[in-house]
Amino acid sequence: METIPVKDLLPIPELTAARRLLVVQPHPDDAEVGAGATVAKLARDGATIAYLTVTDGSMGTEDPAVDQAELVRTRRREGEESARLLGVAETYWLGFPDGGTLDPAQVRAGITRVVRQFKPQVLMVNDPWLPYEAHPDHRIAGLAAVEACLFSSFPHYCPEQIKEEGLAPHKVEQVALYLSAYPNTYIDVSATWELKLEALRRHQSQFTPEILELLSFYLAAKAREQAQGRGFEMAEAFKVLTPTHLHCFEEAWRV
Ligand code: ZN
């Protein structure tokens, strides 16, 4: 009998087919670093895109003189500007305190609410299984977003959102993880690379000109390396899976 490879039983969906995309980020600026050029490309190709930022970014300074409430306002403005530049249509802010105090169940419920409001076909988020990721906000927010993709279609999960807030269960078709150590999808972002850098420049509170130069150099080198042998110049890489891959599926890390 002919054997069928497991990966052919459950095909990896096409990220470029995304028409409605929710991009989740732990802090304002993470999505630009990991996926900004792809967000701009998909928006140019006609996708409707929303951003969801989990924390308020209030830890994002090494200067003790910076007022945190002021920093939150600044980062929100920078995030809004950057999102607009990339062609993002809507922004959601959960406003949890930045810096390692996230409650996983609360974050999962908050992301589920936005999934049920915006009804994305694809949810994009940082890969929570990135080895050596030490930032708890990245691990918790990433995992909560992926969990929300499993639970948002269940009417008995956060039922108050359905009974009291008038929302309906919603099934996400595809999960795209940025900043992944196990990518399986490479997007040609040669045409929108400059836009990504322009979006990163909007986060003035986070990147001094020196840091920005270093970051841009690193990201470009990585994008060229990821594009090698694929017939284009610059690539952003993602781990794309279906929600089915994300439960009791041993091959998920290598498909
Ligand atoms: Zn971050």
Per-residue pLDDT of the chain (255 residues; tens, 9 = 90+): 678 777 788 899 999 999 999 999 999 999 999 999 999 999 999 999 999 999 999 999 999 999 999 999 999 999 999 999 999 999 999 999 999 899 999 999 999 999 999 999 999 999 999 999 999 999 999 999 999 999 999 999 999 999 999 999 999 999 999 999 999 999 999 999 999 999 999 999 999 999 999 999 999 999 999 999 999 999 999 999 999 999 999 889 889
d(CA 161, CA 251): 34
Position 100 in a domain: yes
State which amino acid sits at residue 77. Answer: R
Alpha-carbon gap, residue 149 to 143, rounded angstroms: 10
Q: How far is the CA of 190 from the centre of ligand 1 (A)?
A: 24
Residue 214 lies inside a defined structural domain of this protein: yes
- Is 44 among the domain residues? yes
Q: Cα(65) to centroid of ligand 1, in Å?
A: 22
pTM for the predicted model, two decimal places: 0.96
* Residue of 99, 19, 20 lying closest to 58 (CA atoms): 99
CATH of the domain at 147: 3.40.50.10320
Position 111 in a domain: yes
For 86, half-sphere exposure in the C-beta direction (CA atoms, 13 angstrom radius) is: 36
Would you state the structure tokens that stand for residue 72, as one six-digit string?
Answer: 């939150």
Residues with CB under 5 A from ligand 1 (ion): 26-27, 30
- CA 101 to ligand 1 center in whole angstroms: 14
Name residues whose C-beta falls within 8 Å of residue 170's C-beta, 6 or more positions apart in sequence: 115, 116, 119, 152, 153
Tens of pLDDT along 169-222? 999 999 999 999 999 999 999 999 999 999 999 999 999 999 999 999 999 999
How far apart CA 178 and CA 164 sit, in angstroms, is 34
Task: Please spell the DSSP secondary structure of 169-212, one letter per residue.
Answer: -----EEEEES-SS--EEEE-GGGHHHHHHHHHT-TTT--HHHH
Specify if 77 maps to a domain. Answer: yes
DSSP secondary structure letter of residue 158: S
CB 184 within 8 A of CB 190: no
As given in the structure block, the two tokens for residue 56 are 């308020």
Ligand 1 center–CA 135 separation, angstroms: 8
Ligand 1 centroid, distance to 6 Cα (angstroms): 34
Domain count, the chain: 1
Domain encompassing residue 173:
6-254
Q: Would you say residue 195 lies in a domain?
A: yes
The answer to whether residue 1 is domain-embedded is no
CA of 137 to the centre of ligand 1 (A): 7
Please indicate, yes or no, if residue 203 is contained in any of the structural domains. yes
Q: Which of the 8 DSSP states describes residue 129?
A: T
The DSSP-derived string for 1-50 is: -----HHHHSPPPPGGG-SEEEEEESSTTHHHHHHHHHHHHHHHTT-EEE
